[in-house]
A and B are shown apart, each in its own frame.
Chain A
Amino acid sequence: MAEFAFDDEQLQLRAAVRRFAADNFGEAAARRLMESEEVFDVAVWRRLGSELGVLGMSVPEAAGGVGGSLVDQAVAVEEFGAALAGGPLFGTVYLAIPALAACPAGPARDELLGALIEGQRTAAFAVADIAGTFDPDRVAVTVEEGTLTGTAGRVVDATAADVILVAARGSDGVGLYAVDAGDTERTPLVTMDLSRPQADVTFDRAPARLLAGPDDTGRVITHALQVGAALLAIEQIGAAQHLLDLSVEYAKSRLQFGRQIGSFQAIKHRLADMLVDLEHARSTAYHAVWALTDGSDDPALAASIAQATCSAAFSRIAADTIQVHGGIGFTWEHQAHLYFKRAATDAALLGSAEQHRSRVAELVLDNAVAHSGAVMVATGRP
């Protein structure tokens, strides 16, 4: 599977997900959910799992998956991002399923993973990351006699979740546990992006099932955060492409001074810069997905390159989309703000562009070695 080359099956998958998204997601569906009491459309979610089979595509067959690849999963997520798809994608698809797939096999893991892939149940991932990385010293939830106590703040998709995955500290170290959401107290929060809800989750002697013990938890959570970062980057480019298309169409159809505004270089050059940022972001997001699939690059570096690039690109493209649209782009009725808020949200989740840039600096610059004579600096002496 050569890097950047999607095969015919993946192209068919893209077309199928795009059709499904056109029927079930998009601006109208997102607004409907924003204004309703339901957090997401359970029936649509089940069809994603059972009919399309696109919730856990990279889970190996041995773990109950379809034995696809993360590239397949990325194809679907890109279309979800473009359509602002509703439902607990972030908690379930980007984080919980990759975490479970990396957990040791066992009845608790196998049963839950199967149900999540099928769309029968949903999950949120209540492991606080520090700029996209896992720090076991910051785990505040404790485990005692198979029950968890403590609080996890600002958990994305917790309101939509049937199960909460959470790291907790016991006498032998930090483990990863599954808790039924009904056994926790969830306090919904008003989020800037209403299509990506959060809640504070309190555990008060909540019964928990062990998924990964202290020997495995660090690896499992790190893997989930890297896959999550890559899939979030893919969502970002899907959404950014939608906005660029929207802006280009508007620049062609909007007339001022008797001309299409896209004929003015001030607009045209802004759109060209958006295109460049998007194409760069796309390359880094795909590269991260391929690196995690075939091990061709350090996954930590590839994920940080993607997150640093895609968070900045989506944010800028969303801001420029409003600018190109002028006044209409600032209204509630126009879809630009839905994506602008998603851009701000995605940029903050799993590490900001700045935090990932800092990681890249650590990995690339801080241990760079100078080769003697590699660079010549003129000294004023011929």
Chain B
Amino acid sequence: MSSAGDAGRVAELAQSVVAEHDPKQVPVTEFLGACYDAGLSWVHFPVGLGGLGLSRGLQSVADRVLQGAGGPVPLGLNPMGYGMAAPTVREHAQTDDLKRFFLRPLATTEDIWCQLFSEPGAGSDLAGLATSAVRDGDEWIVNGQKVWTSLAHKARWGLLLARTDPDAPKHKGLTYFVLDMHAAGVQCRPLRQMTGQAEFNEVYITEARVPDAHRLGAVGDGWRVAMTTLMNERSALGASGNRRGSGAIADAVQLWASRPELHTPVLRDRLTRLWLRAEAQRLTSERARATATAGGPGPEGSIGKMVGAELNQRIYEFCMDFLGPEGILYHSYAMHGANEGGDWRGPIQQRYLRSRANTIEGGTSEVMRNILGERVLGLPGDLRADAGMPWKQVPRG
């Protein structure tokens, strides 16, 4: 079978990268640059753009070797870059030179990326967003406000969805750009969340200029381009670790094992249910990976995103109930700036609070169920009050 031969070739390439650029010795940027040059950043991308033109499923072969030798998990270092920007740029950037210009520094993590989609007035109804981009010769002038932007303060580039035609129905008047986060008129402010920390930012965009060359996809085609990004976001969020018992469930099992004096039969059964749900989802992710094709992620990524989010909440709810009165203490509400202070996940109580966002960020669980119902099962859409209406006439508030 050719896929077995391809797997061998991927493993060999990964082994030679590791041999020539020992990830335990060389800087991360050099190691990830070597991976990119060998086509191992995204094996399903074309040759010359960080890929080998192979099946997407073979990425795990490369990652096993690279990460097994101590290499970093790039999705952790540049999550929006690897998870969302790379597939969008690869598919929609205007020239191969531009693709290379963006992708290699993205792959090395020299350029961090962020995503400028959500707005205070456009969450689940993302296509209703109001940030405007107006053409001015070879450039566009952008005005608006974005919210829930992680890594905006560290990012060199932002994936921007903006309205270029307010007279068109909402989905038709959007265009997709790459915004230079260092450009004049782009300002980031930390946004404090219920954990006390500020993991995200608000981004204020005032008369910022974007060259037309940095437009991804056609004018008015931004929604379709954004779908590439969102499907990748959901499958990235949904792809859990592939070791049994890893991830959030490990916290609960460790907590259980460390405090035998708190055990009760009722709590034991509750934890077993959570463990089984986590295991069933892990096997489902493995199955999706095993049957993945060279094409993009399918809607089954929505299953992982939704289940993972709801499971996280139930796991940390369990931890709180397990701890009882101990659980209602906290470590500190001192305000941290975004990404200060190391581990974002922090103690159990912080993870418990943080998990409330899981069923909202990256698509609410309600939206996820609509996607599963409509795109996987083929059920009819709900009635829409704004169908066909020019965006500027849609009631907002």
Do chains A and B interact in one complex? yes
Task: Indicate whether B78 reaches chain A with its CB closer than 8 angstroms.
Answer: no
B25 at the interface (CB under 8 A from A): no
Q: Which partner residue on chain A sits nearest B249 by CB separation? A: A364
Annotate B290-303 by CB proximity to A: 1 below 8 A, 0 otherwise: 11000000001001
Chain B residues with CB under 8 A of A280: 277, 280-281, 283-284, 307
Which residue from B300, B370, B379 sits with its C-beta under 8 Å from A251?
Answer: B379
Between A and B, how many residue pairs show CB distances below 8 Å?
162
Indicate whether A225 reaches chain B with its CB closer than 8 angstroms. Answer: no
Q: Is B111 an interface residue (CB 8 A)?
A: no
Known A263-B380, A283-B287: A377·B326 in contact at CB below 8 Å: yes
Q: Which of A286, A364, A379, A381 contacts B287 (CB 8 A)?
A: A286
A252 is contacted by which of B300, B369, B380 (Cβ under 8 Å)? B380
A378 within 8 A of B: yes
How close is A25's CB to chain B, nearest CB, in angstroms? 25
Contact B258–A272 (Cβ < 8 Å): no
Q: How far is the CB of A206 from chain B (nearest CB, A)?
A: 42
Chain B interface, number of residues (Cβ within 8 angstroms): 58
Q: Cβ of A205 < 8 Å from any Cβ of B?
A: no
What's the least CB distance linking A141 to chain B, in Å?
34
Hey, what's the 0/1 contact readout for B126-159 against A, CB within 8 Å counting as 1?
Answer: 0000000000000000000000000000000000
Does A275 sit at the interface, judged by CB under 8 A?
A: yes
Interface size in chain A (residues, C-beta < 8 A) = 52
* A369: contacting residue among B257, B268, B272, CB under 8 A: B257
Q: Mark A239-278, 1 if CB is under 8 A from B, else 0.
A: 0000010001001100000011011110111011101100
Determine whether the beta carbon of B379 is less than 8 Å from that of A279. Answer: no
Q: Is B395 an interface residue (CB 8 A)?
A: no
Which of B269, B327, B332, B373 is the one whose CB lies under 8 Å from A361? B269
Q: How far is the CB of A38 from chain B (nearest CB, A)?
A: 38
Q: Are B280 and A281 in contact (CB under 8 A)?
A: yes
Contacts of A2 in B (CB 8 A): 290
- Closest-by-CB residue of B relative to A5 is B290
Which residues from B are CB-within-8-Å of A361? 268-269, 271-272
CB pair B373 A268 closer than 8 Å: yes
Q: Write the chain A residue with the least CB distance to B330.
A: A378
> Which residue, of A252, A264, A376, has the highest number of chain B Cβ atoms within 10 A?
A376
Contact with B along A162-183 (1 / 0, CB 8 A): 0000000000000000000000
- Residues on the A chain within 8 Å of B300, using CB: 279
Segment of B98-106, B163-171, B210-218, B342-350 engaged in the interface with chain A? B342-350
Evaluate contact between B370 and A382: CB separation under 8 angstroms: no
A76 smallest CB distance to B (angstroms): 20
Asked, given contacts A360-B275, A360-B276, A376-B346, whether A272 binds B378 with beta carbons under 8 Å apart, the answer is no
Residues of B near A273 (CB, < 8 A) are 369
Residues of B within 8 A of A4 (CB): 286-287, 290-291
B383 within 8 A of A: yes
Check: B273 CB closer than 8 A to any chain A CB. yes
Contact pattern, B 359-372, Cβ under 8 Å of A = 1, otherwise 0: 00000001011101
Judge whether B77 is part of the interface by a CB distance below 8 angstroms.
no
- A272 to B370 CA separation, bound complex (whole angstroms): 8
- Residue A287 at the chain B interface, CB threshold 8 Å: yes
Q: List B residues 348-397 near A (Cβ within 8 Å).
A: 348-350, 366, 368-370, 372-374, 376-383
| Inter-chain contacts of A62 with B (CB < 8 A) | none
Q: How far is the CA of A2 from the CA of B58 in the complex (A)?
A: 13
Shortest Cβ distance from A260 into B: residue: B380
> Residues on B close to A: CB < 8 A?
245, 250-251, 253-258, 268-269, 271-273, 275-277, 279-281, 283-284, 286-287, 290-291, 300, 303, 306-307, 323, 326-327, 329-332, 334, 346-350, 366, 368-370, 372-374, 376-383
A-B contact pairs, 14 of them (CB 8 A): A248-B378, A252-B378, A260-B379, A262-B373, A262-B379, A262-B380, A263-B379, A263-B381, A272-B368, A284-B280, A370-B254, A377-B326, A378-B331, A382-B331
Known: A262-B373, A275-B376, A377-B255. 17 other contacts (CB 8 A): A5-B290, A263-B379, A271-B377, A280-B284, A282-B287, A308-B276, A357-B272, A361-B269, A364-B275, A365-B257, A374-B250, A376-B348, A377-B349, A378-B330, A379-B326, A380-B330, A380-B331
**Residues of chain A having any CB pair with chain B under 8 Å:** 2-5, 244, 248, 251-252, 259-260, 262-265, 267-269, 271-273, 275-276, 279-284, 286-287, 305, 308-309, 357-358, 360-361, 364-365, 368-371, 374-382
6 A-B pairs with the lowest CB-CB distances in the bound complex, closest first? A380-B329, A280-B280, A268-B373, A370-B258, A283-B283, A378-B331
